[in-house]
């Protein structure tokens, strides 16, 4: 699976990029036909401590799954988003089996 990571309004360090890639690669355990994923890391200019936005789009054959999470850190956002994508992938896989 190809992983594209873009950081908006800041430059992501290598450690953060590696962390996000590892978390996204774990999704292949749930569905092995993943095509690619587009990850957007954004920082909002707000006074709220939860100003980090983690947005992920995972492309599967014939469809794409999206998740957008706003958290205090990108690591937390990645964890929450990946667990949400896991649930979506399980549902998608069940739908494919029932066809």
Report pLDDT for 46. 82
**Rounded to the nearest 10 degrees, how much is the dihedral formed by the CA atoms of 13, 18, 23, 24?**
90
CATH of region 2-98, choose from 3.30.160.100, 3.40.47.10, 1.10.3720.10, 3.40.50.300: 3.30.160.100
pTM: 0.89
Q: Residue 82's Cα: distance from chain center in Å?
A: 6
**Average pLDDT value over all residues in the chain:** 92
**CB 37 within 8 Å of CB 58:** yes
Q: Where are the domains of the chain?
A: 2-98
* Average pLDDT over every residue of 40-45: 92
pLDDT digits (tens, 9 = 90+) for 64-94: 999 999 999 999 999 999 999 999 999 999 9
Which run of H or E residues covers position 19?
A: helix 14-25
All residues at 6 or more sequence positions from 87 whose CB lies less than 8 Å from its CB, including other chains: none
């Amino acid at each position: 699976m190809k992983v594209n990571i873009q950081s908006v309004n800041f430059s992501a360090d290598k450690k953060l990029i590696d962390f996000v890639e590892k978390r996204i690669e774990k999704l292949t355990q749930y569905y092995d036909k993943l095509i690619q994923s587009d990850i957007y890391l954004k920082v909002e200019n707000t006074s709220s401590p939860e100003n980090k936005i983690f947005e992920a789009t995972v492309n599967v054959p014939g469809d794409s799954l999206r998740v957008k999470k706003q958290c205090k850190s990108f690591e937390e956002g990645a964890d929450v988003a990946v667990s949400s994508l896991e649930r979506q992938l399980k549902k998608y896989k069940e739908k494919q089996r029932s066809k």
